[in-house]
Amino acid sequence: MQGIYPLKKLSVLNLWFIAVCALFVFSLIMTFWEMQGLHNAMLGFSLTFVILIPVAFANIGWLLLFRSQSLSHSLHSKKKYYLASYTFSTGFFVSIVCGYNYLHSQSITLIDLITLVIISTFVNTLIIMLHQYIILQEIKTNADVENSLLKAANAEAANQLLRQQIHPHFLFNALNILKSLYKVEPKAAEEYLVCLSDFLRASVSNNNIKLVRLKDEIKLCQDYLRMQEIRFGNALICCIAISENALESGFVPSFSIQPLLENAIKHNELTEEQPLHIFIKQNDDRISVSNNIKPKLTSEGSTGSGLANLSERYKIISNDTLLIEADETTFSVSIKILNHGPSMQRYS
List the single range of 2-11, 39-48, 325-334 with lowest mean pLDDT: 2-11
Q: Is the pLDDT of residue 33 over 80?
A: no
Band of the pLDDT at 34, cuts 50, 70, 90? low
Separation CA 37–CA 158 (nearest Å): 71
In this prediction, residue 122 carries a pLDDT of 93
List the single range of 8-22, 86-100, 130-144, 169-183 with lowest mean pLDDT: 169-183
In this prediction, residue 208 carries a pLDDT of 62
338 beta partners:
251
In this prediction, residue 231 carries a pLDDT of 87
CB 60 within 8 A of CB 131: yes
Distances (CA, A) of 142 to 5, 6, 147, 174, 310: 11, 11, 9, 47, 25
- Max mean pLDDT among 100-114, 118-132, 292-306 falls in 118-132
Q: Is the pLDDT of residue 266 over 70?
A: yes
Output the DSSP codes for 329-345. SEEEEEEEPBS-TGGGG
Band of the pLDDT at 2, cuts 50, 70, 90? very low
Global pTM reads: 0.54
Between strands 323-326 and 276-283, the pairing is: unpaired
CB 82 within 8 A of CB 132: no
Q: Is the pLDDT of residue 68 over 80?
A: no
Cα–chain-centroid distance for residue 180?
Answer: 49
Separation CA 298–CA 268 (nearest Å): 10
Distances (CA, A) of 15 to 1, 116, 182, 238: 22, 22, 80, 64
CB 178 within 8 A of CB 196: yes
Q: Mean pLDDT of all residues in the chain? A: 82
What phi and psi, each to the nearest 5 degrees, are found at residue 281?
-130, 150
Cα–chain-centroid distance for residue 313?
Answer: 11
- All structural domains of the chain: 7-143 (no CATH), 185-347 (3.30.565)
